């Protein structure tokens, strides 16, 4: 219950799915939580839910991770309120699956802006004070698609491979400075993620594929994140891949 007492955790994409479950799980371990996403109603409801459990009241920031000024305001606001950021969960993401031929290149741009540059910019914003403290943990949510490529996931996989590359380069840079970097690679998790796929034929086949297995829950991923961030400071869990038992690839 108190593994993360006195820790401050910033969670991006906290308004639904994995981010929401992770915020709750971290708060249950005693962390002070700061939430970022665009949908204020969802963030506000999540704060109420966490408070209703008798846990520390989170703060939230309306933040589009495509906008560096939103990120800056969220990180500064968290530092003003809680004094530091110990844990950053870079979770905000979108998954515009579909064939390369005929793809909407604006989808590609948005996906890279959110999944890659948003994650890099959030990291950049918290890093100076983590380095100053000689302590900090950055958890980047990639995907099995960051390890394995398949048809119709070329662009999404490209974003998640980029997350893996950025994460390991960063890990090596900060290894001697007391900071940890963990990459989480979930398989199919039942969330809203597939609702936003813009190619309707691909959306249907992905939803059918997920419905054909016992998909993971957001809480399954939140548990893995809590495991990684609760290790002693000498232990850096570099990577966790989690698939549903009946997901082969
Ligand atoms: P959800 O759609 O439930 O959550 C996505 C979150 O990202 C929302 O909170 C959304 O908040 C936020 N988000 C999207 N765009 C932006 C933006 N521009 N600025 C800020 N926040 C944004 O999906 P999941 O919980 O499934 O996804 C979370 C992460 O997990 C993603 O990175 C995804 O790639 C990854 N993942 C998911 C898998 C799955 O099967 N579900 C499998 C592997 C990885 P809001 O709209 O309010 O801004």
Q: What is the DSSP string of the chain?
A: --TTTT-EEEEESTTSHHHHHHHHHHHHTT-EEEEEES-HHHHHHHHHHHHHTTPPPPEEEE--TT-HHHHHHHHHHHHHHHS--SEEEE---------STT--HHHHHHHIIIIIIIHHHHHHHHHHHHHHHT-EEEEEE--GGGT---TT-HHHHHHHHHHHHHHHHHHHHHGGGTEEEEEEEE--B-SSGGGG-S-HHHHHHHHHHHHTS-PBPHHHHHHHHHHHHTS-TT----EEEE--TT---
184 CB within 6 A, ligand 1 = no
Residue 74 resides in a domain: yes
pLDDT given for residue 1 in this prediction: 61
pLDDT over 70 at 14, yes or no:
yes
pLDDT in tens, 32-59: 999 999 999 999 999 999 999 999 999 9
Q: Which residues are catalytic?
A: 156
pLDDT given for residue 2 in this prediction: 80
Q: Atom 32, ligand 1: which residue's CA is nearest?
A: 93
For 55-64, what is the mean pLDDT? 97
Residue 248 resides in a domain: no
Distance between CA 54 and CA 42 in Å, rounded?
19
Residue 89 resides in a domain: yes
| CATH code of the domain covering residue 25 | 3.40.50.720
Q: Atom 34, ligand 1: which residue's CA is nearest?
A: 93
121 CB within 6 A, ligand 1 = no
15's CB contacts (< 8 A; 6+ apart) are 35, 37, 38, 39, 42, 43, 46
Q: Cβ distance 92 to 36 under 8 Å?
A: yes
Distance from the alpha carbon of residue 231 to the mean position of ligand 1, in angstroms: 25
Distance between CA 36 and CA 19 in Å, rounded?
9
What confidence tier does 247 reach under pLDDT thresholds 50, 70, 90? very high
Handedness of CA 162, 89, 43, 60 (dihedral sign): negative
pLDDT in tens, 183-231: 999 999 999 999 999 999 999 999 999 999 999 999 999 999 999 999 9
Total number of domains constituting the chain: 1
Q: Atom 17, ligand 1: which residue's CA is nearest?
A: 64
Distance from the alpha carbon of residue 5 to the mean position of ligand 1, in angstroms: 26
pLDDT over 80 at 128, yes or no:
yes
Using most ligand atoms within 8 A of CB, pick from 72, 193, 213, 218 the residue to mutate for ligand 1.
Answer: 193
Kindly report the average pLDDT of the chain as a whole number.
97
Distance between CA 65 and CA 234 in Å, rounded?
31
Residue 137 resides in a domain: yes
Distance from the alpha carbon of residue 217 to the mean position of ligand 1, in angstroms: 14
Instruction: Give the number of the atom of ligand 1 that is nearest the alpha carbon of residue 95.
Output: 34
Residue 247 resides in a domain: no
Residue 147 resides in a domain: yes
pLDDT in tens, 143-178: 999 999 999 999 999 999 999 999 999 999 999 999
Residues spanned by the domain of 210 = 8-242
What is the share, in percent, of the chain residues with pLDDT greater than 90?
99
91 CB within 6 A, ligand 1 = yes
98 CB within 6 A, ligand 1 = no
The number of beta carbons lying within 10 Å of the beta carbon of residue 21 is 23
Residue 46 resides in a domain: yes
Distance between CA 122 and CA 114 in Å, rounded?
11
Residue 2 resides in a domain: no
The number of beta carbons lying within 10 Å of the beta carbon of residue 247 is 17
């Amino acid at each position: 219950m108190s593994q993360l007492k006195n820790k401050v955790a910033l969670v991006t994409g906290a308004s639904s799915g994995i981010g929401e479950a992770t915020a709750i799980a971290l708060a249950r371990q005693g962390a002070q939580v700061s939430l970022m996403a665009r949908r204020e109603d969802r963030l506000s409801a999540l704060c109420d839910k966490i408070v209703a459990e008798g846990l520390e009241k989170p703060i939230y920031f309306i933040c589009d991770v495509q906008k560096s000024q939103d990120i800056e305001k969220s990180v500064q606001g968290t530092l003003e309120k809680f004094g530091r950021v110990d844990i950053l969960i870079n979770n905000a993401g979108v998954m515009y699956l579909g064939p390369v031929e005929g793809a909407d290149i604006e989808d590609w741009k948005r996906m890279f802006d959110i999944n890659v540059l948003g994650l890099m910019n959030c990291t950049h914003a918290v890093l100076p004070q983590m380095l100053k403290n000689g302590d900090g943990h950055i958890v980047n949510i990639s995907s099995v698609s960051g390890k394995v490529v398949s048809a119709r996931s070329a662009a999404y996989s490209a974003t998640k491979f980029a997350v893996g590359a950025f994460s390991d380069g960063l890990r090596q840079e900060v290894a001697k400075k007391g900071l940890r970097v963990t990459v989480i690679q979930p398989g199919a998790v039942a969330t809203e993620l597939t609702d936003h796929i813009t190619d309707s034929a691909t959306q249907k086949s992905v939803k059918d594929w997920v419905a054909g297995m016992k998909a993971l829950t957001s809480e399954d991923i939140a548990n893995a994140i809590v495991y990684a961030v609760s290790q002693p400071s000498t232990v850096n869990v570099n990577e966790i891949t989690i698939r549903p038992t009946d997901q082969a690839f």
